[in-house]
């Protein structure tokens, strides 16, 4: 068991904001999931995290790195807190952090996310792991490690389709082959600038602009990436009023408006807009126009 100080951190918002798909809330509190290949249970009490695990392979430094506890989140949020809507999102979810996910798992997961909802994405990933991952039992939790790119590259497409992946099956398999063959060097892409990383991801099967930006942000620490989907289009009405919006215009605006941490602003806005109805029922919004999407 490892205990860590975690100031300005919300485990719940970080794990339930749509950036990762394999964390599950436990019946008696905490969340079960995987950090690397290790199954863990993570719980939070105040500013302290408790991490239980199947073995002692995870060090405090690895856990701190995964949850991005080493970043100066206060400084990041101050840099993007430039208007009423993002300010309201920050006030509502002040401890949301962007995870440092495994690049391959993140890429594969977001390929499966295309034209899908979170519940179905979770189901696809779970079936994929059960079919090709290594089973793990821990503290009442049963799960499987995420299969390697090499494993998926050699999986029959027909079998992948049987797991419910549908039209995404050949995309996942083709991309896994690129990675297994070294044609998309994930470790190298972590060290390249955002535009180079995104361009390489766009060469992968099943990866368009939105998926590439999601993977760049969540799997490669490219914090200027600004994924645009229907939820972000709703959030952007606050800025564009009745002007025409396109994903490119939104991305260009966000990069100029929020700067190098536009991706953090995106995730706060995304989580905020998705939870607007629940928030409005719990208490009056500090900035009601932000929730409705109306311009100031």
Q: Which of 202, 220, 238 is the last residue of a domain?
A: 220
Q: Which of 19, 50, 71 is the last residue of a domain?
A: 71
Model confidence over 39-90: pLDDT tens digits?
999 999 999 999 998 777 899 999 999 999 999 999 999 999 999 999 999 9
Contact between residue 268 and residue 14 where contact means Cβ atoms under 8 Å apart: no
Predicted confidence (pLDDT) at residue 241 exceeds the cutoff of 90? no
CATH number of the domain to which 28 belongs: 3.30.310.260
Q: What is the pTM of this model?
A: 0.91
For residues 67 and 127, membership in a common domain is answered with no
Catalytic positions are: 210
For residues 107 and 216, membership in a common domain is answered with yes
Give domain status of residue 112, yes or no.
Answer: yes
Q: Which of the four pLDDT bands, split at 50, 70 and 90, describes residue 273? A: very high
For residues 117 and 210, membership in a common domain is answered with yes
Give domain status of residue 248, yes or no.
Answer: no
For residues 55 and 108, membership in a common domain is answered with no
CATH number of the domain to which 128 belongs: 1.10.340.30
For residues 191 and 112, membership in a common domain is answered with yes
Give domain status of residue 201, yes or no.
Answer: yes
For residues 54 and 118, membership in a common domain is answered with no
Give domain status of residue 15, yes or no.
Answer: yes
For residues 109 and 216, membership in a common domain is answered with yes
Give domain status of residue 42, yes or no.
Answer: yes
| Structural domain boundaries enclosing 47 | 2-71
Quote the number of domains for the chain.
2
pLDDT number for residue 242: 83
Q: Which of 200, 220, 240 is the last residue of a domain?
A: 220
């Amino acid at each position: 068991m490892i205990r860590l100080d975690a100031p300005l951190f919300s485990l719940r918002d970080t794990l339930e904001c749509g950036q990762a798909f394999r964390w599950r809330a436990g019946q008696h509190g905490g969340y079960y999931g995987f950090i690397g290949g290790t199954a863990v249970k993570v719980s939070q009490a105040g500013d302290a995290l408790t991490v239980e695990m199947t073995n002692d392979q995870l060090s405090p430094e690895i856990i701190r790195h995964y949850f991005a506890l080493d970043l100066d989140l206060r400084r990041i949020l101050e840099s993007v807190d430039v208007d009423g809507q993002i300010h309201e999102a920050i006030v509502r979810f002040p401890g949301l952090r962007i995870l440092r996910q495994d690049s391959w798992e993140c890429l594969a997961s977001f390929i499966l996310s295309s034209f899908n909802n979170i519940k179905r994405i979770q189901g696809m990933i779970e079936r994929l792991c059960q079919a090709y991952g290594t089973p793990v039992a821990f503290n009442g939790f049963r799960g499987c490690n995420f299969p390697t790119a090499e494993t998926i590259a050699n999986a029959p497409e027909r079998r992948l389709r049987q797991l419910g992946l549908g039209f995404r099956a050949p995309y996942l398999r083709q991309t896994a082959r690129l990675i297994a063959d070294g044609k998309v060097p994930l470790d190298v892409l972590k060290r390249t600038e955002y535009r180079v990383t995104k361009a390489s991801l766009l060469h992968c099967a099943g990866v368009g602009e939105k998926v590439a930006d999601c993977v760049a942000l969540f799997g490669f620490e490219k914090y200027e990436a600004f994924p645009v989907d229907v939820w972000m289009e709703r959030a952007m009405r606050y800025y564009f009023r009745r002007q025409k919006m396109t994903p490119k215009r939104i991305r260009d605006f966000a990069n100029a408006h929020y700067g190098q941490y536009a991706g953090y602003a995106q995730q706060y806005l995304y989580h905020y807009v998705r939870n607007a109805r629940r928030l409005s029922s719990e208490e009056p919004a500090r900035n009601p126009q932000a929730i409705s999407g109306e311009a100031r």
